[in-house]
Amino acid sequence: MNTDNTKAQMRKGILEYCILAVLSRNSCYAVDIINELKKAEVIVVEGTLYPLLTRQKNAGLLSYRWEESPQGPPRKYYELTEVGKIYLNELDKSWEALVESVNQIRDKK
């Protein structure tokens, strides 16, 4: 068994949740999200984020607006929609339940 493989799978599972959590505070440009996720070591490369953002936008969880950029092309600023907020709320609950379950199993004497 390869631990890297398992770790990657775990990270992949929570990545969508993390993106929504970052956006719950304020609207962000993709690179802001990336920086935050990189700092938390949830994501390794930028390219992973773009398909996920588009998928979440198509699912109605996110919306975006264009904003001028001092460097390069205009940027897409993403924010949570009402549906996205409800969705995040659900994920929050299930995350807490998950952590509790894992802890319960781990700490069992």
Partner 1 sequence: MHGINFYLYLCFVKLICINRYLIIKTMKVTVNINLGGYAFNVDEDAYERLRQYMKTLEKEFSGESSSAEIMTDIEGRIAELFKMRLNSYKQVITMKDVEEVMVILGSPELISGSSTSEERPPRSQRRIYRDPDRRIIGGICAGLGAYFNWDPLIWRVLFAALVLAGGFGIALYLILWIVLPEAKTTAQKLEMKGDPVTIENIKDTVKEEFETVKKKMNL
Residues that bind partner 1 (CB under 8 A): 5, 8-9, 12, 30-31, 44-48, 50-51, 53-55, 58, 69, 71-73, 75-76
Q: Using the CB atoms, write b or e for 57-66: b if 16+ within 10 Å.
A: beeebbebee
**N-terminal to C-terminal alpha carbon distance within the chain:** 26
User: Cβ of residue 104: shortest distance to partner 1, in angstroms?
Assistant: 27
Asked whether the beta carbons of 64 and 23 are under 8 A apart, the reply is no
Q: Which is nearer to partner 1, 76 or 85 (CB)?
A: 76
Q: Which is nearer to partner 1, 46 or 92 (CB)?
A: 46
Asked whether the beta carbons of 77 and 65 are under 8 A apart, the reply is yes
User: Cβ of residue 69: shortest distance to partner 1, in angstroms?
Assistant: 7
User: Cβ of residue 3: shortest distance to partner 1, in angstroms?
Assistant: 12
